[in-house]
């Protein structure tokens, strides 16, 4: 049998082990599996679409979970959202997103349109001397940095960076040896995204990557353009930290950056697929999150026909370097920290045993402090990806030869965890460039699918239900006229 390589629509379809298509089928440590289904968290829906969310951890280890809409900031408390907006709330814009960072015990938020916000407890309030900023990050050496700013002195400055006074997020007034500001002009365009990387901070433009380091003195921060890297981030949330490196999405590819030079991980695999199947007008809205527990990066992006809704999801396994697909409609992703559930507390989730969510008993969903990937759906509801898998599918590579007509009479998948149901459908074509024609189909029997179809090239789609896991597949081809 051939090990499953993973979703690789850009590869030669005759490459053994590639998936030419899949749905709700993602990589894990030892193969591929059906993706968990979304389950509503026992929390009220937001009053408006979510424009960003975060789990903020304080110095003592306690956590605050925030979600922002265009005009308000909310904090999760039990099963409801407390309005933590400043008096008068916010203006925002039709496209504004909230950028969050945690600075010691102070939670900070910014959206470029309204004054930068801070809260140590209770409601947020303006940071009086801070610029309005599209992006804020907390650096390891006790600084908050702001990118793509707007203030009374410098005006609208899409290429500007700014740091607060060391250990003082309330002081942003430039002075020698204190708060400093400058511009990144070695490459044209606005700063699209920013994120810490160890002791450094990385600023991304559309076609440039800048590495920032704290040098002290009057300069405070020094910025180096990464030469030979004519790429950058496509949008504000198109970057995530995977531990020692950044995963980021450019206008037409996927990259890893460890502080030296970006390396493409999409070329020949999913780069062309992403360009062909994402809407270039709304590509800047792409969002990436890292599920550390499972080693997965989730890339939510707008499909070709989307009007800005993030309705497609590619999934990348960092260690195995394999891709899968798990499409959802996402407003804002979140690595949700579960408060934990006791027997006595089950009534906060459901009124009866029968109405409890369909979540496996060993899921992180039930564990206090457990982290599960989650997102706000199109109904403004927070849902976690922790439910029992539903329908999933994968489509094999093409089996065959340009010079020989063969019949396949069997397709076998090596399941490490069997599906609840499974159905295989065969497709044939006489030449590799021809359109596929549906052939025979079969249910699973004794771990195999009995198919009988003839052609030069064969492809098989397997539709499944349940928490299935698979590691390999193969088709038995017999030259036509032989037994």
pLDDT per residue over 127-172, tens digit each?
999 999 999 999 988 999 999 999 999 999 999 999 999 999 999 9
CA angle 151, 154, 160 (to 5 degrees): 90
The Cα–Cα gap between 248 and 160 comes to: 21
pLDDT digits (tens, 9 = 90+) for 391-421: 999 999 999 999 999 999 999 999 999 999 9
Judge whether residue 357 has pLDDT over 90.
Answer: no
What average pLDDT does the structure give for the chain? 93
| Closest among 464, 465, 460, 461 to 477, alpha carbons compared | 460
- pLDDT at residue 358, rounded to an integer: 56
Residues forming beta bridges with residue 315, ordered by sequence position: 298, 324
- pLDDT at residue 339, rounded to an integer: 61
Judge whether residue 368 has pLDDT over 90.
Answer: no
> What number is the average pLDDT over the span 100-115?
98
Determine the topology of domain 37-338+364-387 in CATH: Methylamine Dehydrogenase; Chain H (2.130.10)
User: For residue 360, what pLDDT band results from cuts at 50, 70 and 90?
Assistant: low
2-35+391-479 shares its CATH topology with 37-338+364-387: no
Domain ranges of the chain: 2-35+391-479, 37-338+364-387
Cα-Cα-Cα-Cα dihedral sign, residues 10, 12, 16, 19: positive
- 21-25, 129-133, 274-278, 345-349: the lowest-pLDDT one: 345-349
- pLDDT at residue 342, rounded to an integer: 42
> What number is the average pLDDT over the span 327-356?
66
Query: What secondary structure letter does DSSP report for 463?
Result: E
User: For residue 35, what pLDDT band results from cuts at 50, 70 and 90?
Assistant: very high
Helices (H), 287-383: none
Query: What secondary structure letter does DSSP report for 346?
Result: G
Q: What is the pTM of this model?
A: 0.92
Judge whether residue 354 has pLDDT over 80.
Answer: no
Determine the topology of domain 2-35+391-479 in CATH: Jelly Rolls (2.60.120)
> What number is the average pLDDT over the span 174-194?
96
């Amino acid at each position: 049998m051939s090990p499953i390589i993973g979703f690789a629509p850009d590869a030669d379809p005759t490459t053994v082990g590639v998936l030419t298509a899949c749905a709700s089928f993602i990589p894990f440590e030892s193969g591929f599996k059906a993706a968990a289904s979304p389950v509503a968290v026992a929390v009220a829906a937001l009053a408006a679409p979510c424009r960003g969310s975060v789990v903020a951890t304080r110095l003592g280890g306690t956590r605050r979970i925030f979600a922002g809409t265009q005009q308000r900031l909310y904090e999760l408390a039990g099963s409801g959202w407390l309005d933590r907006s400043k008096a008068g709330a916010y203006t925002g814009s039709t496209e504004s997103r909230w950028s969050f960072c945690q600075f010691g015990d102070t939670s900070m938020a910014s959206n470029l349109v309204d004054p930068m916000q801070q809260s140590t407890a209770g409601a947020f309030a303006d940071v009086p001397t801070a610029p309005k900023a599209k992006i804020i990050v907390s650096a390891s050496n006790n600084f908050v940095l702001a990118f793509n700013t707007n203030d009374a002195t410098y005006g609208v400055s899409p290429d500007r960076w700014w740091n607060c006074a060391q250990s003082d997020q309330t002081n942003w007034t430039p002075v020698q040896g204190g708060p400093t500001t400058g511009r990144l002009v070695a490459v044209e365009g606005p700063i699209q995204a920013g994120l810490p990387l160890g002791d450094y901070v990385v600023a991304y433009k559309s076609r440039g990557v800048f590495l920032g380091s704290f040098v002290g003195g009057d300069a405070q921060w020094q910025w180096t353009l990464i030469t030979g890297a004519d790429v950058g981030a496509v949008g504000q949330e198109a970057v995530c930290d995977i531990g020692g490196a950044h995963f980021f999405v450019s206008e037409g590819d996927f990259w890893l950056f460890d502080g030296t030079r970006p390396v493409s991980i999409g070329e020949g695999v999913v780069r062309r697929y992403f360009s062909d199947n994402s809407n270039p007008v709304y590509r800047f809205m792409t969002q990436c999150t890292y599920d550390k527990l499972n080693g997965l990066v989730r890339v939510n992006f707008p499909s070709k026909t989307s009007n800005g809704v993030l309705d497609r999801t590619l999934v990348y396994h960092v260690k195995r370097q394999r891709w899968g697909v798990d499409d959802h409609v996402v407003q804002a992703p979140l690595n949700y920290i579960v408060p934990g559930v006791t027997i006595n507390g089950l009534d906060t989730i459901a009124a009866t045993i029968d109405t409890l969510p369909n979540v496996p008993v060993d899921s992180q969903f039930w564990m206090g402090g457990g982290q599960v990937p989650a997102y706000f759906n199109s109904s403004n509801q927070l849902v976690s990806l922790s439910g029992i898998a539903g329908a999933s599918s994968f489509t094999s590579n093409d089996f065959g030869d340009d010079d020989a007509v063969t019949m396949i009479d069997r397709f076998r998948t090596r399941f490490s965890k069997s599906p609840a149901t499974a159905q295989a459908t065969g497709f044939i074509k006489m030449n590799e460039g021809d359109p596929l024609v549906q052939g025979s189909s079969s249910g699973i029997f004794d771990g195999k699918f009995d198919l009988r179809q003839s052609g030069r090239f064969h492809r098989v789609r397997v539709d499944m239900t349940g928490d299935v896991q698979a590691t390999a597949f193969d088709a038995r081809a017999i030259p036509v006229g032989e037994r």
